């Protein structure tokens, strides 16, 4: 079930082509090092990286998306799946789409 929710979140974020709202950008390396599944909480994410776009599912899970500048106006994505208690369950990086 979690994998299905995560896949849906990835598909939804891949369709986004609008400018990046403030507070949603962070270096990919910092995200990868600072977000630890099973340990990092929602409050820690907000404190470290600020609020970002999210999708909340009926199950209580949330998918958050941060973007990292990759040059040429392109952005890599870092997707975080939060469990209903607000703890990071999984993360996934996605390279920027080719022009």
The CB density around residue 29, as the number of other CB atoms within 10 Å, is: 9
**What's the CA gap between 34 and 67, in Å, rounded?**
15
Element (H, E) at 75: strand 75-82
pLDDT at 90: 97
Can you give 48-59 as a three-state secondary structure string?
Answer: HHCCCEEEECCC
CA 50 from chain centre, in angstroms, equals 12
Q: How confident is the model at residue 3 (pLDDT cuts 50, 70, 90)?
A: low
Listed in sequence order, the residues at least 6 apart from 37 whose beta carbon sits closer than 8 Å to its beta carbon are: 88, 89, 90, 91
Strand order in the sheet with 88-94: 53-56, 62-69, 75-82, 88-94
The structural domains of the chain, ordered by start, are 2-94 (3.30.1450.10)
Which pTM value belongs to this model? 0.74
Residue-by-residue DSSP string for 9-41: HHHHHHT--SPPPTT-B--HHHHHHH--TTT-B
Task: Write out pLDDT tens, residues 18-70.
Answer: 554 544 889 999 999 999 999 999 999 999 999 999 999 999 999 999 999 88
């Amino acid at each position: 079930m979690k994998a299905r929710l995560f896949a849906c979140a990835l598909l939804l974020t891949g369709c986004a082509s609008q400018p990046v709202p403030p507070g949603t950008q962070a270096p990919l390396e910092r995200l990868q090092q600072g977000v630890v599944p099973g340990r990092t909480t929602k409050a820690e994410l907000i404190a470290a990286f600020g609020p970002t776009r999210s999708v909340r599912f009926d199950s209580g899970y949330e998918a958050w998306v941060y973007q990292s500048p990759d040059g040429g106006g392109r952005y890599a994505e870092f997707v975080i799946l939060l469990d209903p208690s607000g703890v990071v369950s999984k993360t996934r990086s996605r390279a920027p789409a080719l022009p």
